[in-house]
Amino acid sequence: MKIIVCLGVVPDTTTKVKFSGDNKEFDTSGVQWVINPWDELALTRAIQLKEDAGNTVDKVVVITVGSITTEPVIRKALAIGADEAVRIDVAPKDSYEVAFQLSEFLKNEQDQHFVFAGIESSDYNGAAVGGMLAELLGVNSVSSVSGLEIEGEKPRIFRDIDGGVETLEVDIPFVAIVQKGIAIEPRIPAMRGIMMARKKTLNVIPPAGTEAYTGITGFELPEPKPPCKIIESENAKELINLLQNEAKIL
Amino acid sequence: MAVLVYTENWDGKFKKTSFELVSYANKLAEMFNTNVVALSIGPVSEEELALLGNYGADKIISAAAGQFKILDNKVYVNLISSVAEKENAELIVLSHDNTGKALAPGLSVKLKAGLVSGVVELPSSTDPFTIKKKVFSGNAFARVEVKTGIKVLTLAKNSFEVVEKDGIAQIEALQDEVSQGDITTKVNEVNKQTGKILLTDAEIVVSGGRGMKSPDNWGPIEELAELLGAATACSRPVSDEGWRPHQEHTGQTGKIIAPNLYIAVGISGAIQHLAGVSSSRYIVAINTDKDAPIFEAADYGIVGDAMKVLPQLIQAVKEMKVS
Ligand SMILES: Cc1cc2nc3c(=O)[nH]c(=O)nc-3n(C[C@H](O)[C@H](O)[C@H](O)COP(=O)(O)OP(=O)(O)OC[C@H]3O[C@@H](n4cnc5c(N)ncnc54)[C@H](O)[C@@H]3O)c2cc1C
Ligand SMILES: Nc1ncnc2c1ncn2[C@@H]1O[C@H](COP(=O)(O)O)[C@@H](O)[C@H]1O
């Protein structure tokens, strides 16, 4: 069985967010590009499952919708341990376009498989591709997935709910939309992995024709916060007083 | 045309976010000169359903069939989209929480509707439809234009005031059933806290970071939370170390919360942590390091040792409660 990991490429999460002069575009100068954090955890879990002999997972494929500039990051995914990579060669405008491109490619997938997508891209926070992809493929999705185990061919899914966790069974194929917990720490590439990554296949596929549903017309930064009011450490009472009478929240 | 809003319940009670949503939908409907239809899924009493009318729902549809008890994304998406079609809804609003994120994308595809997730305001223009949403985990906003006739929106928590009004809504029971074969998600086990305040729904959150030094020091955090009717939370390293349960981890990779008050104790305020809490209405920081970045995000701060400050705060809250 194959696991397909949808891999988004995003600015490093510590990037200072800046926009170009007229606030129309995200300023990419000096940005370090990385695997979207949840996708990195999904990839880690997929590789762990492949390594585990107790199930039939034997292949991990990463797939990215993006221009050639995403390739160094895709190579990193191969170095971490993905077996193959696919890049659909278009810079997408919204989550729908990403999902559409992915579905056009995946609808021809013959091997038994399921798909991992992350809960959201850390840049545009769409929280959409996984659910859209499932609907486009006509399969079910499970979101808020914080754990996934497989025994033989049967996945057992842990889904976070308000105040707890549910354990689920779902029919294959499906899309697992994963979040924290799916893996504890992202795996980092080892030297051997980096060497091997060079020899692995990165298939470049032309995009299918589609229109985005939405478009970003501009950006703004939040209003700067007024400076923090510092209260003497001996005077906790004053803090309670301020919360009660100034902020009026107690 | 109508505005359809999906109001989720938790054990038969609507969440605060559901009332926020209905208030928002009501204003949205005013802009488009139309009505608000609220859809509730799962068993909810008539009395509870009627509450939605107090926030501006004109009609309430209740789908209470037992099969809807568990969240099966596909089953729910089919149900909501069929209601949207029947009600001729062109705007569909959900909350930007776990459930909203689970369902909005499927609805978007099914209804060929552009999705904007995490919106923070009413649209700035109705034609072209343009609306502001959070991006970069709350570090910026984007204005998004939606090109499709039908639109799906998820509303970020705490971005819209709950507005009560006098309204009585008509309640309609939806008899739809799901054929067994359509359900592909099966729940085998549920592990759910009861009685405790939900972190994602709490008005006040008391949160501890690595500055608390040891899991044995959490007593005062819990006591303060208890006194304030607050939920407890923590930073990522604290949950990674196993000092606190994973459900408490807030931040970019943990829970994203927006309480009225967030009290950060011994938390440095890393950008990834702030991404999960910066939408809180007020932030209080307690930290020994006056240069810790948390003070840039905080409204009120105390520079000092948590183990000394917390007992004083607890005392002050007790006194406040007595007076
Ligand atoms: C991709 C990625 C995602 C991440 N996601 C998250 C996330 O979701 N959530 C998250 O929290 N982190 C996240 N992190 C980690 C984040 O970068 C920080 O490392 C983390 O938030 C720091 O936790 P902390 O503030 O508890 O600890 P520290 O940074 O160690 O801060 C401890 C603070 O306690 C103060 N202190 C020490 N002693 C006392 C005392 N006696 N009384 C009071 N204060 C004291 C110190 O001055 C210091 O400011 C992420 C990192 C990465 C790379
Ligand atoms: N360009 C992309 N190529 C492949 N997968 C993507 C891309 N963008 C997003 N995804 C996947 O969809 C998830 C949610 O993204 P989004 O809907 O953009 O927030 C991510 O965690 C990825 O798994």
Q: Residue B303: which H helix or E strand, with range?
A: strand B300-303
Among A73, A41, A71, A29, CA closest to B252: A41
- The rounded Å distance from CA A65 to ligand 2 centre is 8
What value does the mean pLDDT take over residues B237-263? 92
pLDDT at B193 over 80: no
HSE value, Cβ hemisphere, 13 Å, CA-based, for A169: 6
What pLDDT, on a 0 to 100 scale, did the predictor assign at position B293? Answer: 97
Give the pLDDT band of residue B146 (cuts 50, 70, 90).
very high
Angle between helices B306-322 and B219-228 in degrees, nearest 10: 20
Tell me the pLDDT band of B152, cut-offs 50, 70 and 90: very high
Q: Where are the beta strands (DSSP E) in chain A?
A: 2-6, 9-11, 33-35, 59-65, 84-88, 113-118, 140-151, 154-161, 164-170, 174-178, 202-205, 214-220, 229-231
Q: What whole-number distance in Å separates Cα of residue B101 and Cα of residue A111?
A: 29
Q: How far is the CA of A185 from the CAs of A146, B244, B253, in angstroms?
A: 13, 17, 11
Determine the pLDDT at residue A114.
96
How many CB atoms are closer than 10 A to CB B128? 11
CB contact under 8 A, B317 and A240: yes
In this prediction the pTM is 0.90
Q: Give the minimum alpha-carbon distance from B236 to chain A in angstroms, rounded to a whole number.
A: 10
Q: What is the pLDDT of residue A100?
A: 98
- Asked if the C-beta of A169 comes within 8 angstroms of chain B's C-beta atoms, the answer is yes
Return the domain boundaries, chain A: 2-217
| pLDDT number for residue B185 | 84
User: Tokens 């549809």 correspond to what residue?
Assistant: B61
The single-letter code of the amino acid at B64 is A
Closest residue (by CA) to atom 10 of ligand 2? Answer: A8
Q: How confident is the model at residue B62 (pLDDT cuts 50, 70, 90)?
A: very high
Residue with the bigger pLDDT between B182 and B260: it is B260
pLDDT of residue B230: 95
Q: Please, which pLDDT band fits residue B195 given cuts at 50, 70 and 90? A: low
Query: Which residues are near ligand 1 (CB < 6 Å)?
Result: A 13, 37; B 209-211, 235-238, 251-254, 266-268, 270, 272-273, 276, 286-289, 292, 305-307
B259 φ, ψ to 5°? -75, 175
Q: With a cut of 80, say whether residue B70 has pLDDT above it.
A: yes
A128 touches chain B (CB under 8 A): yes
| CA dihedral (B31, B34, B39, B45) positive or negative | positive
Per-residue pLDDT at B125? 97
Report, as an integer, the average pLDDT of B212-232. Answer: 96
**Which residues are CB-neighbours of A50 under 8 A, at least 6 positions away?**
A3, A57, A58, A59, A60, A81
* Residue A21 at interface with chain B, using a CB cutoff of 8 Å: no
- The tokens for B288 are 């020994």
What is the percent of chain B with per-residue pLDDT over 70, rounded to a whole number?
Answer: 99
Q: Select from A71, A75, A15, A63 the least CA-distant residue to A39.
A: A63
DSSP structure string for A24-42? SSB--TTPPEEE-HHHHHH
The pLDDT of residue B168 is 84
Going by C-alpha positions, the residue among B103, B95, B98, B99 that lies closest to residue B120 is B95
CATH number of the domain at A2-217, please?
A: 3.40.50.620
Contact at CB, A236 and B147, closer than 8 angstroms: no
Q: Give, for B261, the enclosing helix (H) or strand (E).
A: strand B261-265
Between A131, A136, A243, which is nearest B73 by CB? A131
Q: List per-residue pLDDT tens for chain A, 250 residues long.
A: 999 999 999 999 888 899 998 999 999 999 999 999 999 999 999 999 999 999 999 999 999 999 999 999 999 999 999 999 999 999 999 999 999 999 999 999 999 999 999 999 999 999 999 999 999 999 999 999 999 999 888 899 999 988 789 999 998 999 999 998 899 889 999 999 999 999 999 999 999 999 899 999 999 998 888 899 999 998 999 999 999 999 999 8
Residue B143 pLDDT > 90, yes or no? yes
Q: What's the pLDDT at B183?
A: 80
Residues having CB within 6 Å of any atom of ligand 2: A 6-8, 36, 38-39, 63-66, 92, 95, 98, 117-118, 120-121, 124-130
pLDDT-derived band at B131 (thresholds 50, 70, 90) equals very high
Nearest CA to ligand 2 atom 21: A118
Q: Identify the residue whose C-alpha is closest to ligand 2 atom 8.
A: A8
DSSP structure class, residue B88:
T
Which tokens in the block code for residue B134?
Answer: 């959070």
Judge whether residue B180 has pLDDT over 80: no
Q: Is the ipTM of this complex over 0.95?
A: no
